[in-house]
Amino acid sequence: MTLSDNVQTAQVCLPTRDLSADLAFFTDTLGFRLDTIFPADDPTVATLSGHGLRLRLERGSSVGPGVLRLLCREPNVVAGDQRELTAPNGTRVYLVDAEAPLVTPRTAHAFVVRHLTDNTPWVIGRAGMSYRDLIPGRLGGSIIASHIRIPDAGPVPDMVHFHTVGFQLIFCYQGWVRLVYEDQGRPFILGAGDCVIQPPQIRHRVLEASENLQVVEIGVPAEHITTVDHAMVLPNGILNPDRDFGGQRFCRSEVKDAVWSPWRIVGFEARDTGIADATRGMASVQVARPLGALGPLAHAVTRHTSDILFTFVLAGSVTLRGEGQGAHGLSEGDAFVIPPDLKTMLSDASPDLQLLEVSLPAAFETRPATDTL
């Protein structure tokens, strides 16, 4: 007999001193249903059910009063404008939105440089993966950028899930990972240099990883909810690449299909990933590299108008100079953020330099600055 077959139900135990008063509160005010009550002559225990919960009210219980959160379509319908109630037994009840709107905080602009050698701690996160934070402070909560690694090859203990998010990028930095997505056909391999965006609410699952898999993950806003979907099985036998997920399409970009063209900074070329089109201009993702040795004209000082401009060094080395920020030697695994209108310059690029650049929004201007740094 399995545990799920053996356990028939579960109850949350709450104390009560006045069972009649608490029954009235939980049934009349909160809409729970009375299931059992005993003994009949002087009841001390009652069980109730509703809203996906089973409660046990017990007189003389030594447990604390507890806290309940009721997720409501319209919280104000329950008790007027009150969002916090207190039961006679002291249980606090919070009435919250079942589907709270996704809020992206206003960007707290900052010049940020994060070196791989900074000894930033790797934190064990979801599904046993290790995370390194690439943007301390997360620009006021507007974005999170993570360097993620799975050191051991083999199956990943992941479940079908989705994210309540505005924008999310997965860029395979080293190794490979096998993924599967809702309505996108059979599982596929995402190799080094490939990337996908995970549109809002798309169900997906990480199936298998190579040894020393490393990815860069971008999420907007920084704090967003991951929800496990226990019902969906992937693959789901559907291929619909044009399906709309919250105003975005699933997009997979493979390095083997790269088309290179002049980048926004003189002396570089870039490959576009198609993500600007898939997100309807919300974000762009490009990989840039130098066009041979950078001449004097390529060492131009520029400024940009993007709200968020994040860059990760995929390979090679380069020097970043910023107005009032000094010079920063960057190498593989380093990351930086350039705020709008700050004068910056890239120089001393190695021939093998490759930069992953993520911009929100997709369309912005890069303007030359007349002076030097």
Nearest residue to 336 (alpha-carbon basis) of 301, 309, 306, 372: 309
**Cα–Cα distance measured from residue 155 to residue 236, given in angstroms and rounded to the nearest whole number:** 20
Q: How far is CA 276 from each of CA 120, 249, 266, 272, rounded to the nearest angstrom?
A: 31, 10, 21, 9
- According to the model, what pLDDT value does residue 243 have? 98
> Higher-confidence residue: 170 or 66?
170
How many whole angstroms separate alpha carbon 254 and alpha carbon 271? 11
pLDDT in tens, 312-326: 999 999 999 999 999
**Encoded amino acid at 353, one letter:** L
Helices and strands of the chain, counted as H and E runs? 5, 32
Bond prior to 39 in cis (omega within 30° of 0): yes
CATH fold for domain 257-368: Jelly Rolls (2.60.120)
pLDDT at 298: 60
Helix or strand (DSSP H, E) at 139: helix 138-141
CB 198 within 8 A of CB 170: yes
Q: Which two tokens stand for residue 294?
A: 């950078």
Examine the pLDDT at 294 and tell me if it is beyond 90.
no
pLDDT computed for residue 4 by the predictor: 67
The pair phi, psi for residue 175, each rounded to 5°, is 80, -155
**CA dist list (Å): 133 to 31, 216, 219, 272, 292:** 44, 10, 12, 25, 32
Q: Residue 175 above 90 pLDDT?
A: yes
- The residues, ordered by sequence, that sit 6+ positions from 9 with a Cβ below 8 Å of its Cβ are 54
Q: Please report the pLDDT score of residue 3 as a whole number.
A: 67
**Average of per-residue pLDDT across 165-170:** 97
- Rounded Cα gap, residues 175 and 191, in angstroms: 6
- In the chain, list all ranges with CATH 3.10.180.10: 3-97
Whose structure tokens read 């090859």? 153
On the question of pLDDT at 339 being above 60, the answer is yes
Pull the structure tokens for residue 117.
Answer: 């050698």
Question: Which part of the chain has CATH 2.60.120.10?
Answer: 119-241, 257-368
**40 — pLDDT class (breaks 50, 70, 90):** confident
Indicate whether 214 pLDDT > 60.
yes
Domain 119-241, classified CATH 3.40.1160.10, yes or no = no
Q: What percent of the chain has pLDDT over 90?
A: 77
User: How far is residue 363 from each of residues 148, 252, 279, 282, 342, measured CA to CA in Å?
Assistant: 28, 20, 12, 8, 18
Q: CA–CA separation, 257 vs 247, rounded Å?
A: 25
Domain 3-97: CATH superfamily is 2,3-Dihydroxybiphenyl 1,2-Dioxygenase, domain 1 (3.10.180.10)
> Taking 80 as the threshold, does the pLDDT of residue 125 lie above it?
no
Strand-strand pairing, 67-72 and 92-97: parallel
- 346: Cβ–Cβ under 8 A, 6 or more apart, which residues? 265, 268, 299, 318, 319, 320
Burial level of 185, CB count in 10 A (0-12/13-18/19+)?
A: middle
